[in-house]
C-alpha cells in the first residue's frame, strides 16, 4: 500500500476528532537507538550512514516513520540525552551532511524522520549553561539556580536547597563553585533543567525547532516534555526551597524525596505546549509531535492531544510499564496482567472520541518485553509470546511504536557483572541502593538483569556473525556494549528466510494497520476485565449510512483474544458470549478458520480451540464476527 493510499484510508475513518484526519491516523513508527543500530566505520558505535544503509529494511517492514534517539553533539554522559549543541551532529554519529542524506533517502522511500527533542534540560557543557554560571550574564536565569539552605555552608552535605533526589541517584541539586549556588538536575548532574518560566528560553528552543523543520525533519519526539512546567509559587519559588512553606515531599529509604509531584504537569504545561505549537507548527503540514509524558494521567492525555487545543498529536504514558502504588522499579512486585489491563483500558477509554494515544511496550528505557512479560525460556515459547504480545499491542486503537529488534523478538541480555553495564542509571542506582542497604548486591544484579535500560541497548542483531552484523567481525573496536549471545538464533538474516518468523508476523500486523479500517480506527471495548490470564477486547467500526443494533448490523467487528501465559487457558465468559459459544462450549454454526484475521497459531487450530473453548499457551488471534 502506497503512502497516498494510506492517507486515503486515514481520511475515510474516524480517528482523533480532527477534520480532515491526520496522516498519522494509521501510521506505524519505528524507533532507532543510533549508537546500537548499525556501525559503518568500525569504531563500535552506530552512526547515521549505518541507518541510511538499512532504510530498505525499514521500508520493507512497512513502517511509516523512523524516530531517532538523540544524535546531537553531546558529551554522552546519558547516551546523548545531554545535549551541548542542538544544531550540530555528534561526531560519533557523523555530520550534518550525513543527516541531510538520511532525511533525503528516507523521504525517497516514503519514510518520515522524527528527531528526539530534549529541552527539559541541556548538557552542563552547553554554551547556555556555561554562560548562566555568571550571575551578571543575560543567561543567568535560564536554569534553576538556588542558594544553599539557610544556616548551611554552601557545597557541604545537607546544604542542598531541598531533599529532592535525582532519578539517576543522589541529590537533584549540584553545587557550582563559580556561581556559588546550586542548580537543579532531575537526571544526571550533567543535565541541568532549563527554566521554562523564562520566555527567552522558550524563544530559543522554538528557533532551534524551526531550524530543524526547515532542514527537512518531519517532527519531534519530545523527551520528558511534561516536566518543563514546575509547580512554583507566586514568587516563582520551588517547593521546600527558600521561604516556601510547602513540603518538598516524603523522604524515601535512599534519603531523598521525589521531585516528580512538583516538577511534572505544572500549571503552565498547556500554555507552553500551545505556545510551542503556535510558534513552530502553525502553517506546517505533515509533521508529527509525540511527547514523553511522565506524571500525566489518561484524562490529561485527552486534553493535551485533543486537536482543538492545538498542543501535541500524542503522548507516551507510562503507567502500564511502571509498577503500581508508587513503587521503585528496582524493588517492585512482579508484573500482573490485571495492572496492564487497568492501565491500557484507561488509555483507550479516555480518548474514545477526542484525542489519541501511543501504543508501545518497548523503547530505549524499557527492558525487552518478551523477557519482561513473555517467556524466553525456550525458542518455542519466545516466538509464541513475542507474537502474542505484538498482536495484543497492535490490535489496540492508537499509533503503534516498534523499537529496534522488537520485530525480531529480541530478549534481555542478562549480563552477569556490573562492569558489563553502560547505563548511567543502572550503575548509579546499583551503588546507591546497595550502599543504603535497600537491596543486597545479588538482589540488585537480579534487578538489573530484569529491568536495566541496557537490556534494550545491545546491538541490533542483523546476522549470526561475531558482532551480529552491527559492526564488521574484523572491526578494530568492539561494540560499545556487549552483543547478546543469542544473536545466532535471533537475527534478521535468519528471520527473513522464515515465513513464520516474528519478523514476518510484525509485517502482517503493520499491513493490517494500513489496510483494515477496523484495526486502524475501530472503537475499543474490554472483555472479561477480571480474567487473570486472558486479555480480550472487541474493536467495532460502524459503517457509515447503515443502521445498527445490538445484533451488530451495520458494524464490522473484531474480537481479539490473547492468552498471556505459558499454560493453557479457558475462554472467559464475555468472550464466549460475543463469539457465539453455546452452553456446551461449541460455537453455534461452527467456528470458521476463514474468520481468523491473524493469529500466532494456524487458523485451523484457532477454530478448533474455539470449539473446545480453550486456548493453547500464548495463543493469540483476531477473529472477525
- Measure the CA–CA gap between 585 and 163, rounded to whole angstroms: 60
Is the CB of residue 145 less than 8 Å from the CB of residue 181? Answer: yes
For residue 358, give the nearest of 4, 350, 167, 13 by alpha carbon. 350
CA-wise closest residue to 329 among 429, 434, 432: 429
In sequence order, what are the residues at sequence separation of 6 or more whose Cβ sits closer than 8 angstroms to the Cβ of residue 257? 162, 163, 164, 165, 248, 249, 250, 251
In whole angstroms, what is the distance from residue 62 CA to residue 425 CA?
34
562 within 8 A of 535, measured Cβ to Cβ: yes
Indicate if 223 belongs to the active site: yes
Q: Which of 47, 174, 223, 406 is catalytic?
A: 223
Burial class (CB in 10 A: 0-12, 13-18, 19+), 622: buried
Query: Of 292, 406, 531, 609, which is the active-site residue?
Result: 292
d(CA 583, CA 268): 56
- In angstroms, rounded to a whole number, what is the distance separating the alpha carbons of residues 364 and 367? 8
Q: How far is it, in rounded angstroms, from Cα 379 to Cα 383? A: 6
Please provide the DSSP assignment of 527-540 as one string: E-TT-SSEEEEEEE
Task: Identify which of 278, 98, 87, 252 has the alpha carbon closest to the alpha carbon of residue 163.
Answer: 252
Which of these, 33, 119, 77, lies nearest to 428 by C-alpha position? 77
The DSSP code for 366 is: S
Concerning whether 322 is annotated as a catalytic residue, the answer is no
Instruction: Please report the beta strands in 148-236, taking only residues with DSSP state E, as ranges in sequence order.
Output: 173-176, 181-184, 219-222
For the residues of 59-111, what is the DSSP string, one character each? HHHT-SEEEEPP-EE---TTTTSS-SEEEEE-TTT--HHHHHHHHHHHHHTT-
Closest residue by Cα to residue 599 from 397, 389, 387, 381: 387
Q: Where are the alpha helices (DSSP H) in 21-64?
A: 48-53, 55-61
Contact 213, 287 (CB under 8 A): yes
Cα–Cα distance, 416 to 399 (Å, whole number): 36
User: How far is residue 354's CA from residue 304's CA, in Å, rounded to a whole number?
Assistant: 10
* Residue 385, C-beta contacts closer than 8 angstroms, at least 6 positions apart: 370, 373, 374, 375, 376, 566, 618
Q: Which residues are catalytic?
A: 223, 292
Amino acid at each position: 500500500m502506497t503512502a497516498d493510499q494510506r492517507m486515503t484510508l486515514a481520511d475515510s475513518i474516524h480517528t482523533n476528532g480532527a477534520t480532515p484526519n491526520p496522516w498519522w491516523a494509521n501510521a506505524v513508527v519505528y524507533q532507532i537507538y543510533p549508537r546500537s543500530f548499525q556501525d559503518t566505520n568500525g569504531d563500535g558505535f552506530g552512526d547515521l550512514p549505518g541507518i541510511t544503509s538499512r532504510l530498505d529494511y525499514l521500508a520493507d517492514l512497512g513502517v511509516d516513520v523512523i524516530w531517532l534517539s538523540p544524535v546531537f553533539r553531546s558529551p554522552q554522559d546519558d547516551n546523548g540525552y545531554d545535549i551541548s549543541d542542538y544544531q550540530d551532529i555528534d561526531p560519533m554519529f557523523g555530520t550534518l551532511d550525513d543527516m541531510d542524506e538520511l532525511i533525503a533517502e528516507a523521504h525517497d522511500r516514503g519514510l518520515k524522520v522524527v528527531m528526539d527533542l530534549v529541552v527539559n534540560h541541556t548538557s552542563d557543557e552547553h554554551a547556555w549553561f556555561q554562560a548562566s554560571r555568571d550571575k551578571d550574564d543575560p543567561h543567568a536565569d535560564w536554569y534553576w539556580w538556588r542558594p544553599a539552605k539557610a544556616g548551611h555552608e554552601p557545597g557541604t552535605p545537607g546544604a542542598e536547597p531541598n531533599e529532592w533526589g535525582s532519578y539517576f541517584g543522589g541529590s537533584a541539586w549540584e553545587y557550582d563553585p563559580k556561581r556559588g549556588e546550586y542548580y537543579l538536575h532531575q537526571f544526571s548532574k550533567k543535565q541541568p533543567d532549563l527554566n521554562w518560566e523564562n520566555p527567552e528560553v522558550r524563544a530559543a528552543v522554538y528557533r532551534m525547532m524551526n531550524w530543524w523543520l526547515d532542514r527537512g525533519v518531519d517532527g519531534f519526539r519530545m523527551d520528558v516534555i511534561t516536566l518543563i512546567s514546575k509547580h512554583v509559587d507566586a514568587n516563582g519559588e520551588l517547593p521546600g526551597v527558600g521561604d516556601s512553606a510547602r513540603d518538598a515531599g516524603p523522604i524515601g529509604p535512599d534519603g531523598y524525596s521525589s521531585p516528580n509531584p512538583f516538577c511534572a504537569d505544572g500549571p503552565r504545561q498547556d500554555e507552553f505546549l500551545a505556545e510551542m505549537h503556535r510558534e513552530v507548527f502553525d502553517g506546517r503540514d505533515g509533521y508529527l509531535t509525540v511527547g514523553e509524558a511522565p506524571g500525566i494521567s489518561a484524562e490529561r492525555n485527552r486534553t493535551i492531544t485533543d486537536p482543538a487545543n492545538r498542543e501535541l498529536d500524542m503522548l507516551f504514558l507510562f503507567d502500564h510499564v511502571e509498577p503500581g502504588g508508587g513503587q521503585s522499579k528496582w524493588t517492585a512486585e512482579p508484573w500482573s496482567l490485571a495492572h496492564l489491563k487497568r492501565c491500557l483500558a484507561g488509555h483507550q477509554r479516555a480518548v474514545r472520541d477526542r484525542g489519541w494515544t501511543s501504543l508501545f511496550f518497548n523503547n530505549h528505557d524499557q527492558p525487552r518485553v518478551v523477557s519482561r512479560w513473555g517467556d524466553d525460556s525456550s525458542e518455542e515459547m519466545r516466538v509464541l509470546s513475542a507474537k502474542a504480545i505484538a498482536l495484543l499491542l497492535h490490535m489496540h486503537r492508537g499509533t503503534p511504536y516498534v523499537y529496534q529488534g522488537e520485530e525480531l523478538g529480541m530478549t534481555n541480555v542478562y549480563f552477569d557483572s556490573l562492569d558489563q553495564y553502560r547505563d548511567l542509571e543502572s550503575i548509579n542506582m546499583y551503588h546507591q541502593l546497595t550502599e543504603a542497604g535497600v537491596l543486597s548486591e545479588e538482589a540488585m544484579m537480579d534487578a538489573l538483569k530484569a529491568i536495566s535500560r541496557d537490556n534494550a541497548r545491545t546491538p541490533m542483531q542483523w546476522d549470526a556473525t561475531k558482532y551480529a552484523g552491527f559492526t564488521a567481525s574484523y572491526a578494530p573496536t568492539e561494540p560499545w556494549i556487549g552483543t547478546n549471545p543469542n544473536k545466532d538464533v535471533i537475527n534478521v538474516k535468519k528471520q527473513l528466510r522464515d515465513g513464520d518468523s516474528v519478523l514476518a508476523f510484525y509485517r502482517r500486523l503493520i499491513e493490517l494497520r494500513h489496510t483494515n479500517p477496523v484495526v486502524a480506527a475501530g472503537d475499543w471495548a474490554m472483555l472479561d476485565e477480571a480474567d487473570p490470564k486472558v486479555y480480550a477486547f472487541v474493536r467495532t467500526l460502524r459503517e457509515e449510512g447503515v443502521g445498527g443494533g445490538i445484533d451488530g448490523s451495520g458494524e464490522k467487528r473484531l474480537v481479539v483474544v490473547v492468552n498471556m501465559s505459558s499454560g493453557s487457558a479457558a475462554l472467559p465468559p464475555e468472550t464466549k458470549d460475543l463469539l457465539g459459544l453455546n452452553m456446551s462450549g461449541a460455537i453455534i454454526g461452527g467456528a470458521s478458520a476463514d474468520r481468523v484475521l491473524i493469529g500466532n497459531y494456524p487458523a485451523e487450530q484457532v477454530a478448533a480451540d474455539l470449539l473446545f473453548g480453550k486456548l493453547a499457551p500464548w495463543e493469540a488471534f483476531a477473529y472477525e464476527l
